Structure 1
């Protein structure tokens, strides 16, 4: 029950001692309060150098707080502030506005999709069409592989005929070219499937964040 009264008494005593000190010109009458490394509250008519990295309170001669001097930012805070300024400057130079970009993205999603279920349904239809293309190409590739094997067997049965060897070589070159094109087509279709899945994933995520959450 005496804790607050004792603290007030200590503060008034410290102020009284400072009031008895010779008054210097200008702002020398200000009283600086800070906390040292041991947690002890200190008072002085001059700011202590070791308190430069801590918040300080400046009192006038009547004991009223005249100014609160905040602690300077840490190295991490200065680095974070510099990074934020750099990003803001880049966005300003490029004319980008995140809020405007999100609004445009929201309008785009609302024009294309009526619901999250529609995103999944459209994904299934488009991916199914691409996968069907891959299956048809794989069947064609198997037909070409059998044709290539047949020509190679005929070539092996007629090793002495120069005319047949030339014909078989042309046929093999044609079949192999068609087979290579089918395989390249399958790779392109699979790449489209992967890209489409990634796009639908992004659409679904943005739809949840920009459309559904705002509706809630």
Structure 2
């Protein structure tokens, strides 16, 4: 993780992780080098060794580095990451627009134009404050929205794909498989099986 004066240090993140401190939920994500998984600081799984972890300011940054979301602590349900809050109003505005779907159909160049800056400058701001590109953040947010809908179990996969901002069911399935290593339907089946087991217990 690249640290910045406005961001948390490795030591602060590590102490919060070991305490499973809920005050830091959404403020950083823990990536485990030995498993390729990233988690919330409140994850109930057994703590990995400190030498095997690194910290990222956003889920998008962890995914950009090649890590997958933990299926146990479900990073997609973490509070919306405030890593850029209080830093650059331009980044905050960009994130708000991306969260509203600005990059689902349009380009980064068009987004930058709406903000009154160049796409190159926008990319630099994102690298500094988000730790990922605008495209990566948009992709992460789309998949997170989709994952929440998949877990809810009330919509068809086609409905989920379009509600989440994907242009097609094929792109939705591909993005899901790339990130989670399995199809959205198999993840839904896993969650239903887990829920049934809990009910029986």
Give the TM interval when normalised to the shorter protein: under 0.3
Q: Structure 2-normalised TM-score? A: 0.20
Higher relative contact order, structure no. (Cα contacts within 8 Å, ≥ 6 residues apart)? 2
The structure that has the greater radius of gyration is 1
